[in-house]
Structure 1
Amino acid sequence: MARILLVEDGRDSSAPLLLGHLQGAGHEVEQVEDGSAALERILSMPPALTLLDIVLPRIDGIQVLETVRSYGNHPIIMLTARAQEADRLLALDLGADDYVCKPFSPREVVARIHTVLRRHAQWRDTAARPSTAVRFDDPRGNACLEGRALRLTRRELLLLRALSRDPGRVFTRSKLLEAAFPEAFDVNERAVDGHIKNLRKKLAAAVPSHDWIRSVYGVGFSFAERPA
């Protein structure tokens, strides 16, 4: 079904079992054992998704994640024994699509892979629709508003994708929370407001002649196209 890159240092006894489940699900799997090799592989010939450990030789998984995110929106699931909340929050804030702690169920990992791949396919479909003034450059994770480049954080980019997918539709904070924090379960809905505020400023700086995001009191937000 998809090409998966498994980044493990080779000492984890669960790797062969996971490989068997991935291959049984129809995936083509390549394994590398250090962060430097993983980084070179992802940037030169990106797979459909990467399963990335944190503790790796040469370059650790967090550095790999941060570097990859500076180039684009490649799907990455952290697969690690580092179960501390600080590690999980750091990885998710840097842009990991999911975070799975060891020991894990290989069947659950396969299910999470399918979820992340579906989500990225939906983002690509949204980006391909010429329905708004917003255009997305998926390989690098960038966006443009009426031809003007936007410098957005990952959360802002995800919010803009969700809002611009259906102009005029009012999205609740709950729906936007799902879109911008798909991997987090303990984030308050009000976190959306701060990111919307920053996104509005950036849209206004790019094209100040129109109010692109409208607030609907007590409900949420909508993306407003220019009048025809």
Structure 2
Amino acid sequence: MLKPEPLGPVKVVEIVAQIAERHRGDGRLSEMPEPEHPRAVVEFVLALGKKPHPRDVADALTLVRAERLELDSLELRLLQAGRRSGMSWRALGALVGIRSRAGAHKHAKRLGEEVTAARLHLPVEVIRGGTAGPVQLAELLQIARALVERWSELLTDDDIDIWYPGIVDLLETAQTRTQQVSLAAQVIDAVEEIDDLAARLQQPPASTKAALFVLQAVRGFRDRRRTAVPAPRRQQDADASD
């Protein structure tokens, strides 16, 4: 079965602007939802008629994939929070429609792999199969600790602050490769959200030089990991072309 390509960074504001620009002269622009409501934007595209512009369809599908990722990420965070609160896998599984303890644990692991892969803009097979190579653990722990220490000096909001306890927990338990990859993904995701917030508010992402240095270190770590991953072999594509 063919797997979707990694989604990559999604700028909802830019996508909404593209859709609005295509409909600037057709009298529907006043109905265009705000970027803060991606689902309403998708519904707007569907309401344009039975044959919407192909680019509108492409943009709307990108928004759907981004929203699905956000929901998966929220579910994963809730499962992790439940475990920290002492809830059993069986109890958590029942809440997400899974009857067995093993099934709930497997579901959380799958969510973690898919969310991590998406945050790093990598194929999920890279995370599952270990083809990305070992995480540079010493560097990862150093920048993660520095990020935690400088958190109060960073530009954050309530949504970004949700990352903090997860990063702190993983700093204490990042022994397996999966935990290390998850820590890397959470650190990177937190900094990308800080950068996005700074761009939206047109404010510096940090209030001190030391905190800015930490952000730069995380960006450098992220970029090195992405460029170090070899492109996966497309055997299925090659088979289809024979």
Length-normalised TM-score, structure 1: 0.22
